[in-house]
Amino acid sequence: MHINKPIIGVIACTRSIEGEAAQTVKLRYLEGVSRHADAIPVLIASNQPRENAPSIVERLDAVLLTGSNSNIDPTHYGSPEPGQAPIDKERDLYSIALVQAAMAAGKPVFGICRGLQEINVAMGGTLTDLRAAGGNAARHHAPDGVSIDEMFGHAHEISLHRDTPLFAVTGADSLTVNSVHFQAIDRLGDNLKVNATSPDGVIEAISGINTRAPVFAVQWHPEWRPAERAHDLALWRYVGETTRHHAPARA
């Protein structure tokens, strides 16, 4: 009997291509879903009315919020600080709508880097910019002007908290992860639990508490050459297995 693969919606970003706005998703995220989670990736345009989110989520089995080079506008978490360019206002608004719609519908939500931050903001949390006074941006992002290999080669160790999904998936007390971000969680959102932290206290992974379906996100990039790291492959398998477990039966 043919068994349908689950469908995971992957949010897109607004980028300029050939001088005009376009909706884009980097292939490594789609390959993570299709190759390593054994699911079907479907792009979700972020340049659409927020009221469309529940109808879209209804047709999906899970939602994945990807990383991006853009930063979240601080106005979304009540901060008077100016936003650090680039800002993707359409994605800011639509990602929050998607998280809330998925939570209401009982569909799993996964986040990577910016996606972790979006989940935290959607659930009432706040962010901080590591480039601000007293921040430790050098630990969490490579210097400007390096190659993409060097950027994703920038790494540090994290400590995992036991009795969390991340520990259950990896079975490790510590991991070495890549680090390519400037924003980070400040105040943790409602119904969220810390799964891992960096040596300087930055929250590196979160999961949902008492949510209708799993909510899980990491601050690093498991989609970057995951075959080189067993723990990143394990995360993608978790995404696939969790989505399949919560997906409705289909004929």
What's the predicted TM-score (pTM) here? Answer: 0.95
CA pair distance 236, 119, nearest whole angstrom: 18
Whether 249 shows a pLDDT value over 90: the answer reads: no
Whether 2 shows a pLDDT value over 50: the answer reads: no
The lowest-confidence range among 137-146, 182-191, 217-226 is 137-146
* pLDDT tens by residue, 24-37: 999 999 999 999 99
The answer to whether 95 and 56 have CB atoms below 8 angstroms apart is: no
CA pair distance 57, 66, nearest whole angstrom: 16
Instruction: Report the catalytic residues.
Output: 113, 221, 223
**Residue 235, H or E segment:** helix 230-246
Residues written for the chain = 251
**C-alpha triplet 97, 85, 23: angle, nearest 5°:** 50
Residue 49 preceded by cis peptide, ω within 30: no
Summarize the confidence of residues 194-204 as an average pLDDT. Answer: 96
Amino acid 92: pLDDT: 95
Structure tokens at 116: 């972790």
Cα dihedral sign, 22-23-25-27: negative
Domains within the chain, CATH numbers bracketed = 7-246 (3.40.50.880)
Summarize the confidence of residues 170-176 as an average pLDDT. Answer: 97
Summarize the confidence of residues 189-205 as an average pLDDT. Answer: 97
What is the rounded average pLDDT for all residues in the chain?
94
Summarize the confidence of residues 182-211 as an average pLDDT. Answer: 96
Q: How confident is the model at residue 163 (pLDDT cuts 50, 70, 90)?
A: very high
The lowest-confidence range among 8-17, 104-113, 143-152 is 143-152
Whether 97 shows a pLDDT value over 90: the answer reads: yes
Q: How confident is the model at residue 83 (pLDDT cuts 50, 70, 90)?
A: confident
Q: How confident is the model at residue 251 (pLDDT cuts 50, 70, 90)?
A: low
Residue 114 identity (one-letter amino acid): R
Q: Write the burial class of residue 157 (CB in 10 Å: 0-12 exposed, 13-18 middle, 19+ buried).
A: exposed
Amino acid 134: pLDDT: 61
Summarize the confidence of residues 143-154 as an average pLDDT. Answer: 91
Whether 1 shows a pLDDT value over 80: the answer reads: no
| DSSP E strand stretches across 179-228 | 183-185, 192-197, 203-208, 215-218
Amino acid 248: pLDDT: 82
Summarize the confidence of residues 145-157 as an average pLDDT. Answer: 93
Amino acid 82: pLDDT: 80
Q: Write the burial class of residue 7 (CB in 10 Å: 0-12 exposed, 13-18 middle, 19+ buried).
A: middle
